[in-house]
Amino acid sequence: MHRPSSAVLAATAMTASLLGSAAPAQAAEPAALYVRQESTACSDTGPGTLAQPFCSIGAAAAVVTSGQTVDVGRGTYPERVTITSSGTPDQPITFLASGVAILSGATAGFVIDGQHDVVLQNFKVRSATDAPVLELANASGITVQGGSYVMGTNAKAPAVRLAGVTRSNLKQVSVTGSALFGGLTMDAATSDVSVRGGSVFASSISDSDDGGAGIKVDGPGNTVIGTTTGAFAGASIEIGPDATGTVVANNQVMGGARFGIHNRGAAGTAITNNTVRDHCQDGIRVDGASTGVSVQNNVMLSNGLFGQVYCKRPGPGGAEIGIYDDATKDTVVDYNNTYHHGSPSASAYSWNGTRMGLAAFRTASGQAAHDKDTPWARDSEDSANSAAPGYQDTDRAGTARADNPAVPNTGAGPVTYADRGAVETVGNPVARFDTALDLGANSVTVDATTSTPGFVPITSYVFDFGDGTVVTQGTPVASHKYAATGTYTVSVKVSGSDGRTASSAQNASVLRRTGTIGLISQYTLWYAAATTAGIGVAANQPALGAAAQFDLADAGNGKVALFSRATRRYLTNGGSVLPLSTAVTSSETFDLLRNADGTVSLKAGINNRYVSAPSSTASLVASATTIGTREKFYRVNVADNERTFKAGINKRHVTAESAGSKPLIANRTAAGLWEKFTLVDLGNGQVALFARVNNRFVVAESAGTKPLIANRTTVGPWERFTLIRNTDGTVSLKAGINNRYVVAESAGTKPLIANRTAIGPWEKFTLG
């Protein structure tokens, strides 16, 4: 659309004013046109509004004007879109894929021919055959940012072709081309084009010994920086004779059937800070009438070795760096790392066709004074020439150069600590931390001691506790009390004195504690405990120590979570039951079920399977579909662990006489292992007495007609008692089998027996 100049507009306005009448108002053009293939309201003859969008990209391209954006929504568009309008540097025309917009079909693609100041952003183009999926010709001010451009397997053209293009940029674009016809080509009339970031790869490996280049540069003043390329039958990056002043820097050149970077007679090429590996012929080759070429700061590895995946035909092989023909006159080769199948590499270099090692190359060429024959990445640190032509202040990822204080600075130029190759070793710190939860206090302690510094010490720790509380300090441990229960995202950010940072985060559940318990496996008669031996939680502990104590936490909807006091982690169902989780999800929830015999079972929330104790050496596992002996546990409230009973009548402790082999009797003046009993919670106010000395249950033998003895491995009717708390602070035990009270017979001189119908002095005990 033609727009009148500002002068014409001013003159028109003045004329209208003098005539006493205003010019008719015109509606402003919309800032955006919309393409929505999936909209039922779309029409290619409509206004292109969001309410009535275009159905095709081509319809929008036919009417778009300078300063407008074509917003393309999700869909697969079978189109080859030719853009026939131009923008200006200040008001470009922009085509933006705001959804996953795919151009697909035998002729799919974008064509810009003769236009300028156009932006293509984030499109995916697929499956063109005989024409490139992106074709730019006689154009300037073109920016292609993001997206992917993929040619079909049987393509007869490069994926992206530039002809007569100037002042343009391709940024972070992914290109997939044919191994034989190439990825991205720039003809001799193309100049001042920057290809930065992204990738250029072949769709398949060809067994041809010649074919298309990954990136082919034939025009002057172009740059290829920070790309990843490889797998082509031709060179990965090829610079033609007319491509003077080309910069090839910070590229990851990953393998191919011929050369890595091939300078074919171009003058003034800067081949700098590339990482080149796994090519069948020379990694970097400079030949023909090349003059003023610089090959510096590159890392070369395993080029020119037939037998690699790309080298399907026998051939002569090649060198890591080869200088041929007139290029031998003034090519500068220095500050490179080369490694060519062996150390030292006897044939890493080629000087006009003669293969040789580093020392011989120095003698023959007078070059490579600072080259290294090494495969180790650490040998590339702090040793590049920052004054080399084409040197970049950042690496291929945009990371600034960093000085490793542990490595001597042996580089040249203003930045003596720059690294060789495409990637700078930056020494970022690593943030790691452990959380210790306390459900009783609703608190968390975060310990970031295991965080590791980069090149310099960590000077700052920022703790974000997820509830709006942020603490910044110079030490790695911080604690916080939460005002409410819930699951919080806890993060730690560490910073070095060089300003480099790293962060880490994890969720932490601070839930309401409803009790602390131990679980005795009915199968093993040992406590389930969180172990440090790598088997998770196993029923293998004889006593209720810290490893066997679990906080019951309210997980909502009637479910519980079990929090290991030893590991400060929740039990999680990861196949085996493991004490590893800091946060509660469905994998950490259980139904705590009371069985008819007074035992409890755990049903995992993630799979509705019951937790089993397979043995005393294997981890608990939530795999059972029914409840049997292995799925039953006796619940012990921690407050009831290893209690003592002192008979009121004689002030003597009840003992499991002879380590439990004889009946219980109240005759001990002091409490030791034989005198300790754990009260097992059977529900409904009933308990069982679990003797610590032999891990056996106390039984009212012969339905209460014989003395109590600790010799049972399971709880039945004879092993059940009701603990009665008397008004004077003492307790009494009533046997469930006969409803008779336990008595210290004959004032404690005879074994305990459950045969009394009332509570008197002989039936009272002090619970310790």
Distance, in Å, from the CA atom of 694 to the CA atom of 692, rounded to the nearest integer, reads: 6
Residue from 560, 580, 571, 464 nearest 511 by CA: 560
pLDDT, tens digit (0-9, with 9 covering 90-100), for 447-479: 999 999 999 999 999 999 999 999 999 999 999
Estimate the share of the chain in helix, then strand, then coil, as percent rounded to the nearest 5: 10, 40, 50
pLDDT, tens digit (0-9, with 9 covering 90-100), for 99-117: 999 999 999 999 999 999 9
State mean pLDDT over 291-306: 93
Which pLDDT value is given to residue 209? Answer: 56
SS3 readout for 478-515: EEEECCCCEEEEEEEEEEECCCCEEEEEEEEEECCEEE
For 68, 452, 626, the CA distances from 123, given in Å and listed in that order, are: 17, 40, 55
pLDDT at position 552 over 50: yes
Mean pLDDT for all residues in the chain:
93
- Do the beta carbons of residue 206 and residue 230 sit within 8 Å? no
- Do the beta carbons of residue 271 and residue 293 sit within 8 Å? yes
Which pLDDT value is given to residue 257? Answer: 87
pLDDT at position 533 over 80: no
pLDDT at position 54 over 60: yes
Distance, in Å, from the CA atom of 587 to the CA atom of 574, rounded to the nearest integer, reads: 8
Per this entry, what is the length of the chain? 768
The two tokens of residue 174 are 């992914």
Distance, in Å, from the CA atom of 512 to the CA atom of 487, rounded to the nearest integer, reads: 11
Distance, in Å, from the CA atom of 422 to the CA atom of 250, rounded to the nearest integer, reads: 4
Distance, in Å, from the CA atom of 20 to the CA atom of 746, rounded to the nearest integer, reads: 128
Tell me the one-letter amino acid at 462.
V
pLDDT, tens digit (0-9, with 9 covering 90-100), for 69-89: 999 999 999 999 999 999 999
pLDDT, tens digit (0-9, with 9 covering 90-100), for 501-524: 999 999 999 999 999 999 999 999
- Percentage above 90 pLDDT, the chain: 86
Q: What are phi and psi of 383, to 5 degrees?
A: -145, 20
Angle at 644 between CA 639 and CA 650, to 5 degrees: 145
pLDDT class of 8 with cuts at 50, 70, 90 = very low
- Do the beta carbons of residue 720 and residue 675 sit within 8 Å? no
State mean pLDDT over 730-734: 97
Residue from 513, 514, 546 nearest 527 by CA: 546
Distance, in Å, from the CA atom of 767 to the CA atom of 730, rounded to the nearest integer, reads: 7
| 3 state SS of 686 | strand
Distance, in Å, from the CA atom of 716 to the CA atom of 487, rounded to the nearest integer, reads: 42
Tell me the one-letter amino acid at 649.
I
Name 95's Cβ contacts closer than 8 Å, sequence gap at least 6: 57, 61, 69, 70, 72, 81, 83, 110, 118, 119, 120, 121, 123
Q: What are phi and psi of 380, to 5 degrees?
A: -90, -10
pLDDT class of 153 with cuts at 50, 70, 90 = confident
The two tokens of residue 558 are 């009637």
Q: How far out from the chain centre does Cα 279 lie? A: 31
pLDDT class of 305 with cuts at 50, 70, 90 = confident
Give the sign of the dihedral formed by CA 734, CA 735, CA 737, CA 738. negative
Distance, in Å, from the CA atom of 448 to the CA atom of 433, rounded to the nearest integer, reads: 4
Distance, in Å, from the CA atom of 130 to the CA atom of 127, rounded to the nearest integer, reads: 10
User: When comparing pLDDT for 64 and 342, which is higher?
Assistant: 64
Tell me the one-letter amino acid at 62.
A
Distance, in Å, from the CA atom of 115 to the CA atom of 109, rounded to the nearest integer, reads: 16
State mean pLDDT over 676-691: 97
The two tokens of residue 654 are 């009840």
pLDDT, tens digit (0-9, with 9 covering 90-100), for 596-614: 999 999 999 999 999 999 9
Residue from 465, 469, 435 nearest 450 by CA: 435
DSSP lists the bridge partners of residue 552 as 515, 562
Distance, in Å, from the CA atom of 407 to the CA atom of 391, rounded to the nearest integer, reads: 21
Which pLDDT value is given to residue 14? Answer: 34
State mean pLDDT over 18-27: 42
